Structure 1
Amino acid sequence: MRLDPDGGPLLVDGPVEVVTEDGTTHFSHRPTVALCTCRRSARYPWCDTSHRARAPKGADAPGSPEEEPR
């Protein structure tokens, strides 16, 4: 498992079986799957990159022109 440090999905080596809170079972046979951790995905429990739309856009946001390289 790998967690995206920028608040994105949890990457899990597949195949994967996920049981959601309502008892629904979801399957994926992909080699790696991205599980939503922000609960904004329209395809929950799978990540659809909805977390990107909610990312901060100010000067403090990672990757902004004002940020100095590390």
Structure 2
Amino acid sequence: MSKVQIKVNDNGSYRITGDVELIDGSGNIYTTKPSFSLCRCGLSKNKPFCDGSHKGNFESQVRVPQED
């Protein structure tokens, strides 16, 4: 099984890379590519996928400090 990476982009989407199955709360399966972005601002017209609507309209929350 390949490693999946989820990157939290500042003021943007979640970037998913790897072989994943994306399923909504009702059990519907979304077709994905090996790399795709998920909306986290709520403005996308293509939810759950990011369409870039966040640009200039979304500011992400401050990160939790990393432990040493």
Pick the TM interval, shorter chain.
Answer: 0.5 to 0.7
**Which position in structure 2 is the counterpart of 1:12?**
16
Matches within 5 A, 1:47-66: 47-55=50-58
Q: CA 1:11–1:25 in structure 2 vs 1: closer, same or farther (change >3 Å)?
A: same
Higher relative contact order (CA 8 A, sep 6+): 2
* Aligned-residue offset at 1:27: 1.8
Task: Give the RMSD, CA atoms, in angstroms.
Answer: 2.0
Is the Cα contact below 8 Å between 1:16 and 1:27 reproduced in 2? no
Are 2:49 and 1:46 equivalent residues in the alignment? yes
Aligned counterparts of 1:4 and 1:35: Cα–Cα separation in 2: 10
Answer with 1 or 2: which has the greater Rg: 1
**What secondary structure, in the 3-state scheme, does the structure 2 residue paired with 1:2 have?**
strand
More helix by share: 1
Relative to the length of structure 1, the TM-score reads 0.61
% of aligned pairs identical? 28
Relative to the length of structure 2, the TM-score reads 0.62
